[in-house]
Amino acid sequence: MNKENIGCCGAYCGTCPVIKKNLCKACKLGYDDGERDLSKAKCRIKVCCIKNGFSTCADCNQYDSCEILQGFYGKNGYKYKKYKEATEFIRANGYDKFLAISSAWKMQYGKYE
C-alpha cells in the first residue's frame, strides 16, 4: 500500500484487477523515471498534479477553487462523487488512514467505515 496507488483525482487504483495484471500503469507510475512522457498525458488533472509535485489533488491549496478538478467532480456519474469523497477524506484524515480503509475495497472506491 502506497500513495502511488491513489490517482490524482482520488480514485484508488491499488485494487484494480487491470493494474494487478500489469496491463495499466495507473495515473502516476512511470513519470518519475522517464518511462512515460508527461507532455503526452491527456488528463489535465494528472498533468497539473504531477507538475506541482503533489501525491494527489488533496495536497493542493487551490483544491476548492480548481476549475479542472471541480469540473471533473461535477460530472454525472457515481464514481466522480466517490473520487471527490476520497480526496476530501485524505484532506481531513491523511493518506495513512485512507490507505488503511481503501485496501479492503473491491474497486477504485468504497465505504469509509
Place of cell 485494487: 15
Total number of domains in the chain:
1
pLDDT score of 1: 63
pLDDT score of 32: 83
pLDDT score of 16: 81
Work out the average pLDDT over 47-54. Answer: 95
59 lies in a domain? Answer: yes
- Helix (H) or strand (E) run with residue 64 in it: none
Work out the average pLDDT over 78-84. Answer: 95
What is the span of the domain harbouring residue 57? Answer: 3-102
C-alpha angle with apex 31: 27 to 33, nearest 5 degrees? Answer: 140
107 lies in a domain? Answer: no
- Backbone torsion region of residue 35, taken as left when φ is above 0, otherwise alpha when ψ lies between -120 and 50, otherwise beta: alpha
Residue pLDDT, tens place only, 86-110: 999 999 999 999 999 998 898 889 9
Residue pLDDT, tens place only, 60-70: 999 999 999 99
Q: How high does pLDDT run on average in the chain?
A: 91
32 lies in a domain? Answer: yes
pLDDT score of 4: 86
Burial class (CB in 10 A: 0-12, 13-18, 19+), 18: exposed
pLDDT score of 113: 75
13 lies in a domain? Answer: yes
